[in-house]
Every structure is written in structure tokens, then in C-alpha cells.
Amino acid sequence: MSGLLEPFAGVARATRFAAHAIALLPRVARQPQLVVDEIYAIGVGSLPVVGITAIFAGTVLAVQGYQTFKQFGAQDMVGLFVALAGVREMAPILAAAMVSAKAGAAITSDLAAMKNGQQIDALEVMAVDPMERLVAPKLVAALIALPALTILSSFLTVVSAAVVATMQLGVEKAFFLGNVEQWLKPDDLYKGVFKGLVFGALLWITSCWQGMNAGPGPEGVGRATNKAIVIEVLGCLTLNVALTAVLYRA
């Protein structure tokens, strides 16, 4: 019975952990440099991998959309496919997955290494709250960086698809851009930003919780990092399905 209840107990402990960090946000506001440093680490550090992934995603969407619509003589409608599939779905989830693999892994491994190196204990000895110094700023940074990277991912997905569709596949630029403009509404971008906020919160709590509760030694650091990435990616995929069902229901 205890084994069955352990996952729920873990969720409860992680929730208390998150609530404690959130309660410290007013103190973090007095130390903006901590947040700026974390935004740089999470956002700027993940920028190359998110950008490259979005470009390849847009390329694939253009090629696959063109080949599919061509069977019906509607290849000029590829802009519609990119606008709906790319911006609504692929851009947010790919950005979240790449940031989880890049920044999420770094956060978990750094915190786990600090715990094993007794650096967190040293902060407590110096009367510095590790939650205030190491955890709470990452929440603010994640809630800023993930939506921003989602917007960038959406933009690069559309631009790369437009380049491939118009320059390689022969789609008229006016048709492509007209379809994107017709089907892509500001509301879609707002919903993408909202998804980024949810994914950012999940990345933050998972990475910080796993890092601060890692087992001893290098093996503990490795297990915590691997577990965090798996939970984050699967969690983002699951949440994406739920959010899409809610945000885009008829």
C-alpha cells in the first residue's frame, strides 16, 4: 500500500516545495540581478537549440504539407497547414522539449552537484536561504523565458516554412502569406504564450525539486537529471494535449 501512495506523497512534497518558493518571490524582487542571470541561463542559453529546431520543423511542415495538399491540387494552401500545425502545436511543444533538455538538465545537475558538494549546507550556515537564492529566481526566469522562446519558435517555424515553400516548392508568396494571415490570429499567439507559461512552471518545479532531492554521488546527480528530463518532456506532451483540448475546443 505504501508503494502505491508514494507517488502521491511525492507530489504533495513537491507542491509544498513550490509553495515555499513562491512565497519567497517578494524577496526575489529586491534582487533583480538573480533573475536576470537565470533568464540568461535559461533563455539565451537555449536560444540556439530552440531556433535550429524551429527552422527544421518549419522546413518539414512545408514539405509534408505541400506533398499532401498537392494530391488535391491545393498545394498553395500549405500556409494554412503551417499556421495551424506549426504555431498552434509544434512550436510550443518543441520549444518546451528543447529547453527541458538544455536548461532543465543544467538546473537539475547544478543543484544536485551543489547538494552533494555541501554548498547548499554552506549557504544555510551563512544564513542564506537556498530556496530564495537558488530556486525562486528560476521560477520568474522560466515564466519569462519559455513564453519568449515559444514566440521565437513560432516565428522561425513560419519563416523557414515560407522560405522552403516559396523558393524550393514553387508556392506563390502571396498565397502562402495570405493563408497564414487568414488562419493565424493573435489569439493563437496568446494561447501559445499561455502554453509557454505552463511548460515553464513545470520545467521549474521538476528541475529544482529533482536537483534539491538528488541522491548521493555522481550516480545520484545522473539519476536526478535523467528523471527530470523524462518527467518534463512527458509532462509537457501530456499538458499540451490537455491545453489544446481546452483552448481550441469548438
Nearby residues of 201 by Cβ (< 8 Å), 6 or more positions away: 139, 142, 143
pLDDT digits 0-9 by tens, 93-134: 999 999 999 999 999 999 999 999 889 888 888 888 889 999
Which tens digits make up the pLDDT trace of 195-245?
A: 999 999 999 999 999 999 988 888 999 999 999 999 999 999 999 999 999
Task: Residue 120: name the closest of 108, 106, 109, 133 by CA.
Answer: 133
Q: How many CB atoms lie within 10 A of CB 161?
A: 32
Q: How far apart are CA 89 and CA 102, in angstroms?
A: 20
Per-residue pLDDT at 11 = 79
Alpha carbon 46 to its chain's center: 10
Confidence grade of residue 3 (pLDDT, cut at 50, 70, 90)? low
Cβ atoms of residues 152 and 50 within 8 Å: yes
- The pLDDT confidence band at residue 5, using thresholds 50, 70 and 90, is low
Grid cell in block for residue 104: 532543465
pLDDT at 172: 86
